[in-house]
Amino acid sequence: MIAQVSGRLAAKRIDRVVVQTAGGVGYEIVVPLGVMEGLPAVGESVSLATELVVREDGWALYGFQDDAERRFFQRLTAVSGVGPKIAIALMSALRVERGVRAIRERNIGLLSSVSGIGKKTAERLALELADKLGEFEEPASAAASAGGGGTAEAALKALERLGYGTAEADRALRQVRILAIGVKVKDRLFVGGQEFDL
């Protein structure tokens, strides 16, 4: 198993990066959107927790900010019908905190709003994992003091107050985040006269 890759960030692509180690080996690593957003500039040093997935059609390396993200990925892929692609899509769309919350609260609408996850897969995730994700819950005080998650939740609630459904509002916020990756315009969203950090 390749548990960690450290080196120079050689390239960034839409959903993957190349990390070149000191020995000159370049590892292509698929990463969720949240990891991509937190990476330094190309040429800088980087270290990722990784998970090697070996299948009959090929090998793939998946990268995460820390071991907790990797464990969440492992939990997701242990569910029947949930492969690495769906796990990465869920982690990109909802991040670990919101993904855990959606599964524990059995929020089928939010889970099925993720690309590649239908109602049956969402129900299976909730059924198999709802009671097995306690290690990923943050204490309420830590969650409240964490920057990005609170403002994203506030923006989501503001969109819901304007009449958007939860899944529709969540998709809109995800689209804003995706568009913001390559373009550094403003890190704020204005909804109903209120300003939110993204």
pLDDT tens per residue across span 155-177? 777 777 777 776 677 777 777 76
Give the span between the Cα atoms of 133 and 124, in whole angstroms: 14
> What is the fold, at CATH topology level, of the domain defined by 66-137?
DNA polymerase; domain 1 (1.10.150)
> What is the fold, at CATH topology level, of the domain defined by 4-65?
OB fold (Dihydrolipoamide Acetyltransferase, E2P) (2.40.50)
Instruction: Give mean pLDDT, residues 39-64.
Output: 96
Of the listed ranges 40-44, 62-66, 167-171, the least confidently predicted one is: 167-171
Backbone angles phi, psi at 124, to 5 degrees: -65, -40
pLDDT tier, 1 (very low <50, low <70, confident <90, very high otherwise):
confident
DSSP H helical ranges for the chain: 33-38, 67-77, 84-104, 108-112, 119-129, 140-145, 147-161, 166-182
**What is the residue extent of each domain of the chain?**
4-65, 66-137, 147-198
Res. 92: pLDDT tops 80 = yes
Neighbours of 79 (CB within 10 A): 18
Neighbours of 128 (CB within 10 A): 16
Q: How many C-alpha atoms does 119 have within 13 Å on its Cβ side?
A: 1
Look-up: residue for tokens 């492992």? 74
Of the candidates 82, 28, 20, 14, the one whose C-alpha atom is nearest the C-alpha of residue 58 is 28
Backbone angles phi, psi at 20, to 5 degrees: -100, 120
